[in-house]
């Protein structure tokens, strides 16, 4: 759930490493591992919307109570923001990625068991904490390589590929029997999570260090030094206006994307009176459009000017959201939401690409991690607000919420400082 959230505590730097310039086998393996970690996160985030009606029915909870799932996700990202800095002082890039992958495996293993609702909600905390460590560091690594805008487009397209596959598998499993066994869907992301962990361990084995402890006095001095460096980096990061302005853009964009993916099925079932077993496939149009948009529009967006093109895309998305809201026809709405996904596709990778150019070198890693996690906090916060409002007014509240978030995304993009345009090879 976004994954793919969201005002919070500062985010510390990721472990530094050399920038990959010469394409080597290890370089491409790291890129594949980074992309696959986003695919796994996409399967998790994209499936919740399709499973939500079954979750409500199985646990006998209301839309007001199910927001606990989104709150749990939000807490996971916040805890990651508070602990990431300290962990990075002791764990290498590979170890941080592996920790994140392992937490996601644990979350899916618990879900497949169909635990009590309280524990089911806690698994979203574990999953979001794992995604924060896994995807944030994979994202920062890829943003440091040559022609980063292309590779960022690739890994974020992999996220949307996961969001596309997730609802398909979730709906197929959940609707397979008269007595739905929707929890068995989680065996699928569990298997993917194990593969993700294995791939990280192999691809980043050269950065898998864990800082050993020395004598007590030495350890105390070393700990104080690490803490001082982490605090100084955080302060330097928070003093840069571009970091806050870019974070605001991600905050609104991911809020819109994850809210749409999480509540669209409930909206179509209860407001448009669609069949739940058929409506479960509608989010695949949104995610499929976003997948193609991230692949197809990455290069044109870069060549024609990132600032101009993203604003044009945002204006188109606002228009498509109005169509989705005002035309009471499920077929038209399915097309509109697919096109909205397509034109919003480049938003994330382009934002990270611009951030890597406008942030000062000394805070680039921590700055990118900050905007990534703040965006994920938006992706958790706004689904919570939508659920709370929906518990009083009905899920029709989704549409004005999405319209406001998309408009805020376009406006906040204009506030982001313009990056120097350097042509890629």
Sign, Cα dihedral of 158, 368, 377, 207: positive
The architecture in CATH of the region 25-209+217-415 reads Up-down Bundle (1.20)
Interval 137-156: pLDDT, tens: 898 888 888 877 788 889 98
3-class secondary-structure state, position 91: strand
Interval 268-300: pLDDT, tens: 888 888 887 777 778 778 888 988 998 899 889
Residue 253 to residue 376: CA distance in whole angstroms:
10
Residue 422 has what pLDDT?
54
> What's the whole-number average pLDDT of the chain?
84
Interval 90-127: pLDDT, tens: 888 999 999 999 999 999 999 998 999 999 999 999 99
Domain ranges of the chain: 25-209+217-415
Contacts of 34 (CB under 8 A, 6+ apart): 138, 139, 141, 142, 155
Section 365-373 average pLDDT? 79
Per-residue DSSP letters for 20-86?
P-S--HHHHHHHHHHHHHHHHHHHHHHHHHHHHHHHHHHHT--HHHHHHHHHHHHHHHHHHHHHHHH
Q: Decide: 326 and 402 in contact? Cβ < 8 Å.
A: no
Tell me how crowded residue 424 is: count the other CB atoms within 10 A of its CB: 11
Token pair of 225 as six digits: 């030094």
Token pair of 279 as six digits: 């409506």
Residue 283 has what pLDDT?
78
> What letter does residue 89 receive in the DSSP assignment?
T
The residue with greater pLDDT, 277 or 136, is 136
Residue 284 has what pLDDT?
79
């Amino acid at each position: 759930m976004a994954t793919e959230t969201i005002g919070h505590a500062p985010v510390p730097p990721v472990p530094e490493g050399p920038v990959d310039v010469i394409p080597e086998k290890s370089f491409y393996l790291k890129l594949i591992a980074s992309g696959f970690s986003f695919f796994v996160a996409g399967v998790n985030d994209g499936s919740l919307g399709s499973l939500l009606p079954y979750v409500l029915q199985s646990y006998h909870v209301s839309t007001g109570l199910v927001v606990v799932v989104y709150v749990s996700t939000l807490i996971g990202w916040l805890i990651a923001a508070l602990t990431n800095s300290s962990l990075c002082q002791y764990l290498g890039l590979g170890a941080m990625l592996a920790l994140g992958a392992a937490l996601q495996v644990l979350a899916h293993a618990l879900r497949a068991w169909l635990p009590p609702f309280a524990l089911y909600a806690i698994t979203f905390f574990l999953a979001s904490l794992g995604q924060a460590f896994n995807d944030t560091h994979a994202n920062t690594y890829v943003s440091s390589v040559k022609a980063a805008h292309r590779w960022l487009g690739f890994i974020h397209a992999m996220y949307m590929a996961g969001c596309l596959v997730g609802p398909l598998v979730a709906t197929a499993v959940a609707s397979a029997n008269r007595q739905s066994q929707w929890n068995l869907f989680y065996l699928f992301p569990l298997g993917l999570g194990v593969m993700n962990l294995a791939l990280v361990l192999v691809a980043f084995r050269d950065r898998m260090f864990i800082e050993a402890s020395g004598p007590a006095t030495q350890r105390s001095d070393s700990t104080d030094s690490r803490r001082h460096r982490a605090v100084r980096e955080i302060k330097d990061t928070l003093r840069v206006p571009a970091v806050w302005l870019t974070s605001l853009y991600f905050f609104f964009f991911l809020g819109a994307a994850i809210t749409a993916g999480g509540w669209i099925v409930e909206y179509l079932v209860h407001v448009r009176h669609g069949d739940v077993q058929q409506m479960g496939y509608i989010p695949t149009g949104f995610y499929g459009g976003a997948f193609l948009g991230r692949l197809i529009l990455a290069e044109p967006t870069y060549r024609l000017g990132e600032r101009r093109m993203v604003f044009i895309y945002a204006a188109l998305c606002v228009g498509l959201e109005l169509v989705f809201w005002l035309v009471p026809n499920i077929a038209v709405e399915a097309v509109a939401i697919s096109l909205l996904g397509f034109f919003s596709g480049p938003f994330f990778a382009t934002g990270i690409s611009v951030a890597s150019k406008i942030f000062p070198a000394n805070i680039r890693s921590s700055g990118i991690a900050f905007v990534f996690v703040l965006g994920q906090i938006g992706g958790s916060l706004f689904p919570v607000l939508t659920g709370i409002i929906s518990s009083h007014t009905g899920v029709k509240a989704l549409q004005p919420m999405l319209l406001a978030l998309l408009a805020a995304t376009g406006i906040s993009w204009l506030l982001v400082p313009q990056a120097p345009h350097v042509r890629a090879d």
